[in-house]
Amino acid sequence: MALLMILITCFMAILAPSQPCQTPDDFVAVTSPGHIMIGGLFAIHEKMLSSEDQPRRPQIQKCVGFEVSVFLQTLAMIHSIEMINNSTLLSGVKLGYEIYDTCTEVTAAMAATLRFLSKFNCSRETVEFQCDYSNYMPRVKAVIGAGYSEITMAVSRMLNLQLIPQVSYESTAEILSDKIRFPSFLRTVPSDFYQTKAMAQLIQKSGWNWIGIITTDDDYGRLALDTFAIQAAANNVCIAFKEVFPAFLSDNTIEVRINQTLEKIIAEAQVNVIVVFLRRFHVFNLFNKAIERNIHKIWIASDNWSTATKIITIPNVKKLGKVVGFTFRRGNISSFHAFLQTLHTYPNDNNKPLREYAILFSDCEHVKDSDLSQCISNRSQGTLTYKVKEDVKRNFFMRNDFLWHYTEPGLIHSIQLAVFALGYAIRDLCQARDCQNPNAFQPWEQTLSKCSKECSPGEMKKTTRSQHICCYECVSCPENHYSNQTDMDHCVLCNNETHWAPVRSAMCLEKEVEYLNWNDSLALLLVALSLLGIIFVLAIGIIFTRNLNTPVVKSSGGLVVCYVILLCHFLNFASTGFFIGEPQDFTCKTRQTLFGVSFTLCISCILMKSLKILLAFSFDPNLQNFLKFLYKPIPIIFTCTGIQVIICTLWLIFAAPTVEENVSLPRVIILECEEGSTLAFGTMLGYIAILAFICFIFAFKGRKLPENYNEAKFITFGMLIYFIAWITFIPVYATTSGKYLPAVEIIVILISNYGILCCTFFPKCYVILCKQETNTKSAFLELIYSYSSHSAGNLAMSHASLDSTSSNITTTHPSPCGNSAAWQKSKDLQAQPFAQTCRDNGTKVSKTFPRKRISSI
């Protein structure tokens, strides 16, 4: 290779502007003019003839061994370019082509490459040496090919001088993916890394671990061998032997190496699986000799020959055993089939391979289809006989399906992709310039030529209805998905528990941890309301302490009861602070327990006050006896509060609230208190609701008591506010999520706490501060006396009505004698005692009831 590069350098130095280079006319295989020229390299013949062991003149030898399958690849490139020219892809711009036959030799390929590099539109066709080729205009804008990796590498190193894009349809050597060594190389097939990995996995899954491998002595073969050896070792597969063939058929030692390899295969009887990285003509010769020796094995075929019709049509090929191969992805090539059907009408003036094929085909017209390819290959090594055009057309028409049966769909599709990738790249370049002018752009401007625009990170490829996998649309990655490379087939899902990603993201972002922070505006508002409530509690406590001996304070149950209720309100307001800030185990366990117990104690005290008021002003003896029996303040308060303490204790023991990360939201992690048990939480709130309902019933019964001292009416309003707040809380709490969920409960606690506090104490504070004339003992007794007299009078009138009814019933029955005068007298006598009785009862009630109510209150 080093010597070859020296020769190339010398050759380029000779081709100075003063030394023109005339290319022989017969060196170009196929040509067609156009505004933009595309080069092509195909191994149409399988080897070069050399009359001597070592060449003595620097000249290109004759090529022999016409390869029908590669000839079809040449036609595929021509057909694809014509499809572009006949479409609207490059409106007004025509693609031309120059296709050369490499004859499966690096030397011929290098000669063709020199012509690709020659200066465009120069009569002397010279290759100029320049330090900077940015403004240099070569003969072609891009090159399709070559097929074999060994040839592709040599060509690519020369094309790198001017960064001319090279798109290979078959070269799979992994080293070609190195953009440092081969910056302008592209391909439409995957590298051998994936093929060798698949082979090793296939062998391992099949239970084989003792295999042989045959490869060629060139860059492709050696790299494939090294890559496969690594993959095999990773899958616990051992290689029994490695055999290497000469890379080119022109090497005279190839027959000897094939025989030695077959002897090795026979000797290694335990090896029944052989991996073959060879070219088609190597495999053809190997299999023919293996059939002669009755060798029966399992052959693992590389994509280089797995679908080659030349191999499939070998006589008695089934005697070799089974062939398991890997091939390229196929596509829709129906248009190529139609092109082959009309190939006999295609002009061959500038298409030497087509002309040669037509003549060879005519010479082999009596050979059956299975031997036709071999006949054509053998005939090409002799002297061709010319036949008239009518005979050629007739033979074409009679056997026009022969070429279609020899077509390898994977390779044809790969060539179509390569041509269309260049076509779309040229279209993008020509949008802002006139490409009918060949000097419109430089080749290196389209080095990254693709059918579709490159998908940037944050996007993925979406295959269109086109048959070509290289033609696609770029769509943005959806939310919580990302792509961090160009041209990714799909977006990668982020870890939804810890990360997220916006639409069209190139990376996953770590979720932010959120909770109701002290700096939050809503939190500050709630804290301010809680502090205001605490200030109210302290102010009420001071007012009641300073007016301890007034009737209003005494009628509220005394200072102790008021202090207990105010302390409960203070704890309720203080409990809201445990709902704000970063949740901790302590705060999660404390906040609900503190609120539940303190609020229960508050409701229990108010319940006793409601019961006491109802007892003090009840005039129904039966109800009064029942209330006297029920009224046990301290035991009831301790019992009601104790039940809530038991509920909360069991909750903390068996299912205590804990800190939990809520990852259900797409962009944030909510740090929140998981209540542990919804049943326990609901039981705690439900128990408070039961007590509040009982309190509401008692307060509602006493709502018509003395105006200035009637707490029952205000307690009723307080309980209604409580019920409205917590009934609203349930659906709101169930449908709210995020960091503001604790704020919902804080708001409900504040509403219910403010409602009860205001209804219980604010009216009394108003009387104490603003209506001091009614907050005296005399005014209090007068009010009680008036209410009691009114209540007793109503009661006496009720009795009088009953007595009157009884009297009327008696007088409606006249005496048997029918004396009306006697009846009137009896009526008058009865009326006098009744009036006296009413006066006595009224006096008695007015004297006894006030003392009883005062002492009770």
**What angle in degrees, to the nearest 10, is found between the helix axes of 820-856 and 585-616?**
140
Cα angle for residues 736, 752, 757 (degrees, 5° grid):
155
Give the separation between CA 44 and CA 48, rounded to whole angstroms.
Answer: 11
Give the separation between CA 827 and CA 815, rounded to whole angstroms.
Answer: 13
Sign of CA dihedral 194, 452, 442, 105: positive
* Residue range 59-68: mean pLDDT, rounded: 81
**Which candidate, 478, 476, 435, places its Cα nearest to that of 456?**
476
pLDDT of amino acid 823: 38
Tokens of 199: 């082979």
pLDDT of amino acid 706: 54
How confident is the model over 492-514, as pLDDT tens digits? 999 888 999 999 999 999 999 99
How confident is the model over 99-124, as pLDDT tens digits? 999 988 888 899 899 888 888 776 66
385 secondary structure, DSSP code: P
How confident is the model over 599-653, as pLDDT tens digits? 999 999 988 887 777 666 555 666 667 666 667 778 888 999 999 999 999 999 9
Sign of CA dihedral 647, 648, 652, 653: negative
Average pLDDT, the chain: 80
User: From residue 7, how far is each of 111, 386, 391, 415 by CA, in Å?
Assistant: 12, 38, 46, 31
Q: What is the CA radius of gyration of the chain?
A: 52
- Residue 452 carries which side chain, given as an amino acid letter? S
How do beta strands 512-514 and 273-277 pair? unpaired
* Residue range 397-401: mean pLDDT, rounded: 62
Tokens of 272: 């029944």
**Which candidate, 611, 647, 599, places its Cα nearest to that of 751?**
599
Choose the weakest-confidence range: 106-110, 713-717, 841-845: 841-845
How confident is the model over 271-307, as pLDDT tens digits? 999 999 988 888 988 999 999 999 999 999 988 888 8
- Listed in sequence order, the residues at least 6 apart from 781 whose beta carbon sits closer than 8 Å to its beta carbon are 850, 854
* Residue 417 · residue 139 · CB < 8 Å: no
478 secondary structure, DSSP code: P
Q: How many CB atoms lie within 10 A of CB 567?
A: 16
Give the separation between CA 771 and CA 782, rounded to whole angstroms.
Answer: 16
Tokens of 785: 């006396």
* Residue 340 · residue 400 · CB < 8 Å: yes
582 pLDDT higher than 60: yes
* Residue range 766-780: mean pLDDT, rounded: 79
Q: How many CA atoms lie within 13 A of 285 on its CB side?
A: 16
- Measured in residues, the chain has a length of 857
pTM for the full model? 0.53
Q: How many CB atoms lie within 10 A of CB 785?
A: 15
3-state secondary structure of 815: coil
Greater confidence, 449 or 723? 723
pLDDT of amino acid 1: 38
Tokens of 783: 């009010």
- Residue 815 carries which side chain, given as an amino acid letter? S
- Residue 626 carries which side chain, given as an amino acid letter? F
What is the secondary structure of 343-356 as a DSSP string?
A: GGGS--TTBHHHHH
Chain centroid offset of residue 596 CA: 43
Q: Where are the beta strands (DSSP E) in 44-84?
A: 45-48, 63-66
- Residue 389 carries which side chain, given as an amino acid letter? K
* Residue 716 · residue 740 · CB < 8 Å: no
Give the separation between CA 2 and CA 272, rounded to whole angstroms.
Answer: 39
pLDDT band at residue 714 using 50, 70 and 90 as cut-offs = confident
Q: State in Å, rounded, how far the first CA of the chain is from the last one.
A: 118
How confident is the model over 319-360, as pLDDT tens digits? 889 999 888 788 888 899 889 888 877 877 788 888 888 888
Give the separation between CA 638 and CA 632, rounded to whole angstroms.
Answer: 10
For 5-35, give one letter per residue: b (16+ CB within 10 A) or e.
eeebeeebeebeeeeeeeeeeeebbbbbebb
Choose the weakest-confidence range: 25-29, 84-88, 176-180, 736-740: 25-29
Give the separation between CA 396 and CA 580, rounded to whole angstroms.
Answer: 89
Sign of CA dihedral 543, 549, 553, 558: positive
Q: Which residue is it, tokens 């002297």?
A: 383
Give the separation between CA 363 and CA 384, rounded to whole angstroms.
Answer: 8
How confident is the model over 201-223, as pLDDT tens digits? 999 999 998 999 999 888 888 88
**What angle in degrees, to the nearest 10, is found between the helix axes of 352-363 and 389-398?**
80
* Residue 777 · residue 556 · CB < 8 Å: no
Q: Residue 851: in which H helix or E strand, if any?
A: helix 820-856
Tokens of 788: 């009691």
